[in-house]
């Protein structure tokens, strides 16, 4: 899927977010910013422990907030850590929306043009794939109403099911 929202191109991608050569990838983080399993674990494994060390030095943050770190050994220059939940807690729709909006604001403050998001809040976060997708799409649509530096947003799913949820969410959020 590719959609144009104002001057922002939004596309879906099935695969591993850690392989994308974009300005920044988002990490589905907890508010203490330690990187355990799931997306965070994959980012730490491929990008290096320095990403986690830098993130922890910037925290803790509140659920719904975001911080930016180096991309370490990843193709992406930066990682934006989106806190969709507290440690051991559950993500909510509004915490995910807020973390996406904050991530895009931070990306614009750093004059970044391309950002990729995983299914924040899904899996260990407790949200269904669909609820995660809808929250992320809500945050992206809100961002696209303003003209800022990010012009390409990639919504990443490890499987077609997640990408289908993004597509369905776009239809519902834009109604």
66-111, pLDDT tens digit by residue?
A: 999 999 999 999 999 999 999 889 999 999 999 999 999 999 999 9
Q: pLDDT band for 175, please (50, 70, 90 cuts).
A: low
pLDDT of residue 27: 97
What residues does 142 pair with on adjacent strands? none
User: Taking the model in full, what pTM does it have?
Assistant: 0.96
Structural domains for the chain: 2-173 (3.40.220.10)
Encode 148-168: b = buried (16+ Cβ within 10 Å), e = exposed. bebeebbbbbbeeebbbbbee
């Amino acid at each position: 899927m590719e959609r144009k929202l104002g001057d922002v191109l939004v596309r879906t991608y099935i695969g591993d977010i850690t392989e994308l050569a974009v300005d920044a990838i988002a990490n589905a983080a907890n508010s203490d910013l330690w990187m355990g399993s799931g997306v965070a674990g994959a980012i730490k494994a491929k990008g290096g422990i320095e990403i986690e060390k830098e993130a922890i030095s910037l925290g803790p943050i509140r659920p719904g907030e975001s911080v930016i770190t180096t991309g370490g050994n990843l193709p992406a220059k930066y990682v934006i850590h989106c806190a969709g939940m507290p440690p051991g807690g559950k993500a909510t729709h509004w915490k995910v929306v807020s973390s996406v909006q904050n991530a895009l604001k931070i990306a614009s403050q750093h004059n970044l043009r391309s950002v990729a998001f995983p299914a924040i809040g899904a899996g260990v976060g407790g949200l269904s794939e669909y609820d995660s997708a809808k929250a992320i799409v809500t945050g992206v649509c809100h961002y696209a109403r303003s003209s800022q530096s990010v012009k390409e947003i990639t919504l990443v799913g490890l499987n077609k099911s997640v990408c289908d949820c993004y597509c369905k969410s776009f239809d519902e959020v834009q109604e």
